[in-house]
């Protein structure tokens, strides 16, 4: 009975979306029966209840989706937050969380042009989600259910988000989440050993399809081995599937020691975990020497280290 009700609800939502779409592009007069199905077929195909073959001729894109903006600082890693720095420079209060005009970006439909009737974001795109806030911030609770609905609708794309609030994830997942959605990655960030010890036990116990750990900005050495050994999948592999490391950038950046990066890298190699050295940061100690690295070189220098493991 529950399944039938869910299907009815989905079909009803689908019909409403199709009707709204038809009205928006001027193809409806008095009723849906007046619509030329041939003209709205591309849009209806994307709104199908079941997965469809990709007929979108456009290449996938890498797109940022900041559906709400603003945040409050959760730990020492937030001290030099780039969003705070940017907002304060224009006299804006960065601690106020507000829904943005791009809230519905993933499901926006093109109303004109060659690809009229298709989603604005192409099939297969990668969507960097909520990078000017935290998706699980309490001040965004009223909008999150609608956000999940859009993410579910665009299961043809992949979504990547980072949180410093793993303790809020379990109570704010969608009802049909199950053991996770394959197209969604929720990563956790741990800037030092204290935050790793606080956040990882919570995060690694969550029903996520992908578990990704970000150590950025890396402010101390971080030992992941207890969490690699202590949290294993049913096949014996580590629950942690990916680790990304990076130093701090921007004014007042704190020092990152390259030996810390190498230690985490070695743990990933030993345990078959993919690894990315994202950026050096502005201040890097290597072989006992402190380097001041310009912003434009921080990513390229990290890449040249040759530590990335896919």
Domain ranges of the chain: 1-52, 60-184, 190-310
The predicted pLDDT at position 245 comes to: 98
Q: What is the pLDDT of residue 162?
A: 98
- The pLDDT profile of the chain, 310 residues, written as one tens digit per residue, is 444 445 445 444 543 444 343 333 333 333 333 323 333 233 334 444 445 567 899 999 999 999 999 999 999 999 999 999 999 999 999 999 999 999 999 999 999 999 999 999 999 999 999 999 999 999 999 999 999 999 999 999 999 999 999 999 999 999 999 999 999 999 999 999 999 999 999 999 999 999 999 999 999 999 999 999 999 999 999 999 999 999 999 999 999 999 999 999 999 999 999 999 999 999 999 999 999 999 999 999 999 999 999 9
User: From CA 190, how far away is CA 218, in angstroms rounded?
Assistant: 8
Identify the pLDDT of residue 55: 86
How many residues does the structure list for the chain?
310
Q: Contact at 8 Å (CB) between 127 and 121?
A: yes
pTM summary value: 0.83
So what's the pLDDT on residue 306?
98
**Predicted pLDDT at 52:** 57
Residue-level pLDDT at 54:
78
- The pLDDT assigned to 135 comes to 98
Q: Which residues of 271-304 are buried (b: 16+ CB within 10 A; e: fewer)?
A: eebebbbbbbbbbbeeeeeeeebeeeebeebbee
DSSP the chain: -HHHHHHHHHHHHHHHHHHHHHHHTT--SSSGGGS-HHHHHHHHHHT-SS-------SPP-EEEE-SEE-----SGGGTT-HHHHHHHHTT--TTS-EE-TTTTGGG-B--SSTTTTSBSSPTT-EEEE-TTS-TT-GGGHHHHHHHHHHHHHTTTSEEEEEES-GGGTGGGS-TT-TT--TTEEEEEE--SHHHHHHHHHHHTTS--S-EEEEE-S--S----HHHHHH-B-TTS-BS--EEEEE---STTPPPEEHHHHHHHHHHHHHHT-EEEEEE--SEEEETTEEEE--GGGHHHHHHHT---B-
- pLDDT for 90 equals 97
Q: Angle 261-163-280 (CA atoms, 0-180°, nearest 5)?
A: 25
| Separation of alpha carbons 150 and 31, rounded Å | 26
């Amino acid at each position: 009975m529950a399944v039938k009700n869910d299907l009815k609800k989905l079909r009803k939502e689908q019909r409403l979306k199709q009707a709204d779409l038809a009205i928006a592009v001027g193809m409806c007069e008095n009723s849906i029966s007046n619509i030329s199905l041939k003209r709205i077929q591309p849009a209806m195909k994307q709104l199908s209840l079941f997965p469809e073959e990709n007929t979108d001729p456009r290449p996938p894109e890498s797109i940022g989706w900041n559906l709400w903006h603003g945040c409050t600082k959760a730990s020492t890693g937030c001290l030099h937050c780039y969003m705070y720095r940017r907002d304060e420079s224009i006299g804006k209060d960065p601690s106020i969380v507000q829904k943005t005009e791009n809230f519905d970006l993933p499901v926006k439909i093109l109303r004109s042009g060659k690809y009229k009737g298709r989603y604005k974001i192409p099939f297969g795109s990668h969507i960097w989600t909520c990078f000017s806030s935290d998706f699980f911030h309490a001040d965004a609770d009223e909008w999150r259910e609608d956000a999940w609905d859009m993410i579910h609708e665009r299961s043809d794309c992949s979504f990547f988000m980072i949180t410093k609030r793993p303790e809020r994830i379990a109570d704010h997942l969608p009802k049909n989440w199950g053991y996770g959605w394959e197209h969604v990655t929720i990563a956790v960030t741990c800037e030092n050993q204290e935050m790793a010890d606080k956040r990882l036990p919570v995060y690694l116990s969550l029903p996520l399809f992908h578990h990704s750990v970000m150590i950025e900005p890396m402010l101390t050495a971080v030992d992941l081995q207890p969490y690699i050994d202590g949290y294993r999948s049913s096949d014996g592999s580590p629950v942690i599937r990916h680790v990304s490391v990076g130093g701090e950038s921007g004014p007042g950046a704190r020092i990152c020691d390259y030996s810390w990066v190498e230690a985490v890298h070695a743990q990933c190699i030993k345990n078959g975990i993919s690894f990315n050295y994202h950026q050096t940061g502005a201040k890097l100690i290597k072989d006992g020497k402190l380097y001041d690295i310009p912003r434009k070189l921080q990513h390229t220098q990290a890449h040249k280290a040759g530590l990335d493991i896919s």
